[in-house]
Structure 1
Amino acid sequence: GDDAASELHPLAALPDLDGARARLRALAAWAYLCACACARFLSPLAWLRWLRSVVVSKPLALLTSFLEGLTELLARHEEGEADLIGGIIRGAGYPYEQVEVTTADGYILTMDRLPNRGSRRVVYMQAGLLDSSVGWLTENCVSSPALAAWDRGYDVWLGNFRGWAGARRHADPAVRDTQWRYWNFSLDDHALHDIPAFMERIHATKCAELREAGALREEELRPGAPRPYTVSVIAHSVGAAATLVYAVHERTHERAVPVDHMVLCAPAGFHMDIPLSIWLISLVFGNYLTAPLVVRHISAVYIPSRVLRLLFRKVVHDLAHELDAVGELLGVVIGNVVFGGDASDWSLAASKRDYLVARMPGISIQLLLQLQQSLRTGRFEMRDYGRAENLARYGSARPFDVGANYAALRGLPVDILAGTRDALTPAAMVRRHYELLLRAGVAASYQELDYGHLEFAIHVRDQFVGSLMAMMDAHAWQERTPD
């Protein structure tokens, strides 16, 4: 049959060549594709393209997207905080205006005012280092010194010293745009330039407003007439030290000081007893060898960019308010390790609203060196520039000794408040001011409160505000009998 025939046919045993060729073509195609893929994968150019994508392109795209989002957030943040102080004051139902002041050496500063235009009672409040006028404000009018003073009829002026990291303003662009030139100031410049500029603006404004309101009598309009209003000063820490330098220096040089009463809360000036951490920093950076280099090349301690300031405030705010345990731990570490056991709420202080993107304060190295000078000498002096420059500035080889000239304050009542849990300006150092004032014949009072350094400015207690108001009222305009 057929099977037998096929077995006998000579070609019947040959393989299927068409199928084999098809399989060979498929195998060759797969081999080609694999070879191309391997060649592409193993090619140096391919590796470079892959690395560029992974290391450069994708991270750059992510960074660009992040920065665009951060820029948008920053814009919204600044828009919301541009009028933060005014928003707090107006939101509490009080009037507000911002006043721009230019100092004699060209710095452009800002004062925040709660105007009481017809009042003859003025209070000027000055915050300390790393603080601003927000320190005198809370939404609660009972525990806010500024709002409480306005309620009692005072025209309230809140001063802000030079040294805002994000708002370097100066009449000379060369100073404004050069870091070391802008930050080349000390406590003396706050005292002899900033405060006088504030006082001059207050005086000009009050005289003009009282005149326009018809509140001045004829004899008060005559040249040389007594000032038609009273001024109380409430100052904290470095702000209090600057106030003392201002008043003593001006009166010693027989210039009028338009101040009727001072309340000094934890005043700086004497720093023989300071936390170990600050002593070590001053030892490293404040000696005669390193100080000139530090002043020239560092000039100030602050967060340099708006983005970093925003991130700093966001992180600290979240730690203090969202993660209570972490925030409390942060405050304990700062207070006990960094600041030698000060009892203030440091985590809350760092998240305060005056640490704005544009207005976050910085610290001038010159000012720190002046505070370190007190540690070295044990005296409350103006800046020591060396013998030659001291002779030119002060007329003596030694700098002007503020504490030794407290007799210039006779006739100017001074109330001093110290905190028994304050490790930055300990009560013993604050008491030194009081003892020298008494010895000089100045009408001074002294009181110790169970406060840390910052409790005069944050977490202010209602009783403390009431005491401040009573101190001011004792020396306010209605206590005087005009001639």
Structure 2
Amino acid sequence: MCRVRVWITQRHTKDVKNDTYFCFELDCGMLWLDEIIRMNGYPEETYYVTTDDGYILTLHRIPAGKDDRGPKEGRPVVFVAHGLFCSSADFVVSDPSKGLGYLLADAGYDVWLGNYRGNTYSRNHTYLDPDDQSGGFWDFSWDEMAKYDTPAMIEMILEHTGSMDLQYIGHSMGTSTYFAMPHYRPDLMNKIRLAHLMAPVAYVGHMESPIAWIAGFGNPIHIILEWLGIGEFLPNTLLVDCLASLFCQEGLTQGICSNIMFIFCGFDEPQMNKTLLETVLHHTPAGSSTTTILQYAQEVVSDNFAGYDWGSEEANLQHHGQISPPIYSLSEVTSPVAMYWGLNDWLAAEEDVERTLLELPNLVPGMEIAVEYPAWNHLDFLWAIDADKYVYKPLMENMEKCRLQDCTNL
């Protein structure tokens, strides 16, 4: 719980009509991200970028540390990309001593937190309506995030800061989009000083998540869409209850077994900060399309790292410019890469991570890090009590190494 001075006005209204205010205990989960960052004493700037296909994405910037009085210009730049069901909030809802966004800012970085199409902060388009489930807004998978969203955010950041390059940090789906991006924009590989990929998801043939269970139903797409939602990912209560009974252990902290993200990604109770849980549940799941989930399910069946199959040559031609989905090649990921993975990850199984490692052409020596905690899972990279110890400390050491030297050909 967070003590914060709140003006008694309508929610999100910034205008204050008189000098009366009250102080009371307010759950951080009820605040917008810019308010959370400022409440913790950090500067925040909000930016918007429009993709080539019309989606309006929000980026949150922390340009300096909490007590940093130095110039904000000229700092090394880092872009942080969230994972499945998530948003930029996941990197700053923790205490500043634990939240990755704050740690990076305090270490002297110019921190940019991105949001992919369809989540809480990027639910907007130049003409499509997100409330119209069949109106076109939700006709995307993470292919479009790799093709449009990631490049648009990277280019906007570089243009605004004047930096020649940046470091990239991706988690979960934020690694999938990075792996696929050079298929569409190989030129951007030269703009990435070092890519840090946490819980990397390319191949998913050994996935243990309930997504693999959904994949077992094959192609009765009308039944799957009825369960998961047509357009926006809005699973019905029967499916959530069914998955919870199959995959969620009894006795876990209240709220976990009713939250689809924890059902899909797993839960490491010893590493979960119980006081943070209520805030996390307010912010996640943050929203996405059903086809984003189904793309991973298709990959479980095919055991390929591939684009989403829209079910017909005509639809594939519309989305991919070819009659079949593209097969992504990890050999195209030519930027320097550092990898961080857990040994108890339902989405990024160790066998699949090892296959990915073997195919990456520019993995920096010594930057292949399996977390030294046997039960480390997919979401521990975000909120685990010891995330700073097991992940962020070596990650930031790698950042500093490649900030000081060119890691392209180490």
**TM-score of the two chains, using structure 2 as the length reference:** 0.74
2:101 to 146, 162, 166: 146
Provide the residue aligned with 1:159 in structure 2.
114
Provide the residue aligned with 1:179 in structure 2.
133
Q: Residue type matched to 1:366 in 2?
A: T
Q: Residue type matched to 1:465 in 2?
A: Y
* CA distance in 2 between partners of 1:110 and 1:338 (Å): 27
* CA distance in 1 between partners of 2:107 and 2:266 (Å): 36
Provide the residue aligned with 1:269 in structure 2.
202
Q: Residue type matched to 1:243 in 2?
A: Y
Provide the residue aligned with 1:475 in structure 2.
402
Provide the residue aligned with 2:211 in structure 1.
278
* CA distance in 2 between partners of 1:334 and 1:243 (Å): 27
1:231 to 166, 169, 174: 166
SS at match of 1:123: strand
CA distance 1:105–1:78, change in 2 (3 Å): same
CA distance 1:261–1:441, change in 2 (3 Å): closer
* CA distance in 2 between partners of 1:364 and 1:428 (Å): 27
Q: Residue type matched to 1:299 in 2?
A: G
Whose radius of gyration is greater, 1 or 2? 1
SS at match of 1:274: coil
* Unaligned 5+ runs, structure 1: 1-72, 208-227, 305-324
**Which 10-residue stretch deviates more, 385-394 or 414-423?**
385-394
* CA distance in 2 between partners of 1:77 and 1:413 (Å): 41
Equivalent runs, 1:76-155 vs 2, <5 Å: 84-116=32-64, 117-138=72-93, 140-155=95-110
Provide the residue aligned with 1:416 in structure 2.
339
Contact 2:195–2:338, Cα closer than 8 Å, also in 1:
yes
| CA-to-aligned-CA distance 1:41-91 (integer Å, 9 cap, x gap) | xxxxxxxxxxxxxxxxxxxxxxxxxxxxxxxx9965999777532233223
Provide the residue aligned with 2:298 in structure 1.
373
Provide the residue aligned with 1:260 in structure 2.
193
Alpha-carbon offset, residue 274 of structure 1: 2.8
Contact 1:112–1:159, Cα closer than 8 Å, also in 2:
yes
Provide the residue aligned with 2:3 in structure 1.
none
How many residues matched?
Answer: 357
Provide the residue aligned with 2:234 in structure 1.
302
Q: Residue type matched to 1:384 in 2?
A: D
Alpha-carbon offset, residue 276 of structure 1: 6.7
Q: Residue type matched to 1:179 in 2?
A: Q
SS at match of 1:101: strand
Q: Residue type matched to 1:448 in 2?
A: A
Alpha-carbon offset, residue 360 of structure 1: 5.7
Alpha-carbon offset, residue 432 of structure 1: 1.9
SS at match of 1:453: coil
* CA distance in 1 between partners of 2:203 and 2:316 (Å): 21
2:143 to 188, 210, 215: 188
**Which 10-residue stretch deviates more, 343-352 or 235-244?**
343-352
* CA distance in 2 between partners of 1:157 and 1:136 (Å): 11
CA distance 1:342–1:425, change in 2 (3 Å): farther
Q: Residue type matched to 2:370 in 1?
A: E
Q: Residue type matched to 2:133 in 1?
A: Q
SS at match of 2:383: coil
CA distance 1:417–1:114, change in 2 (3 Å): same
**Which 10-residue stretch deviates more, 130-139 or 387-396?**
387-396
SS at match of 1:457: helix
| CA-to-aligned-CA distance 1:15-63 (integer Å, 9 cap, x gap) | xxxxxxxxxxxxxxxxxxxxxxxxxxxxxxxxxxxxxxxxxxxxxxxxx
CA distance 1:201–1:334, change in 2 (3 Å): closer
Alpha-carbon offset, residue 300 of structure 1: 2.2
* CA distance in 1 between partners of 2:141 and 2:180 (Å): 12
Contact 1:137–1:147, Cα closer than 8 Å, also in 2:
yes
Contact 1:168–1:182, Cα closer than 8 Å, also in 2:
no
2:219 to 283, 287, 303: 287
**Which 10-residue stretch deviates more, 345-354 or 124-133?**
345-354
| CA-to-aligned-CA distance 1:238-280 (integer Å, 9 cap, x gap) | 11111111134311xx566521110100122222123374333
Alpha-carbon offset, residue 419 of structure 1: 0.7
Contact 1:120–1:229, Cα closer than 8 Å, also in 2:
no
* CA distance in 2 between partners of 1:303 and 1:74 (Å): 34
Contact 2:313–2:324, Cα closer than 8 Å, also in 1:
yes
* CA distance in 2 between partners of 1:346 and 1:282 (Å): 29
Provide the residue aligned with 1:430 in structure 2.
353
Contact 1:230–1:259, Cα closer than 8 Å, also in 2:
yes
Q: Residue type matched to 1:399 in 2?
A: P
Is 1:243 aligned with 2:178? yes
Alpha-carbon offset, residue 295 of structure 1: 10
SS at match of 1:183: coil
* CA distance in 2 between partners of 1:199 and 1:406 (Å): 20
CA distance 1:327–1:74, change in 2 (3 Å): farther
* Unaligned 5+ runs, structure 2: 1-7, 15-25, 65-71, 237-249
1:446 to 368, 384, 394: 368
CA distance 1:104–1:354, change in 2 (3 Å): farther
Alpha-carbon offset, residue 395 of structure 1: 6.8
Ranges of 4+ aligned residues in structure 1 off by more than 6 Å:
77-82, 332-335
* CA distance in 2 between partners of 1:124 and 1:140 (Å): 20
Q: Residue type matched to 1:466 in 2?
A: K
CA distance 1:160–1:231, change in 2 (3 Å): same
Alpha-carbon offset, residue 353 of structure 1: 4.5
* CA distance in 1 between partners of 2:133 and 2:323 (Å): 30
**TM-score of the two chains, using structure 1 as the length reference:** 0.64
Contact 2:200–2:348, Cα closer than 8 Å, also in 1:
yes
Alpha-carbon offset, residue 351 of structure 1: 3.2
* CA distance in 2 between partners of 1:109 and 1:82 (Å): 21
CA distance 1:170–1:329, change in 2 (3 Å): closer
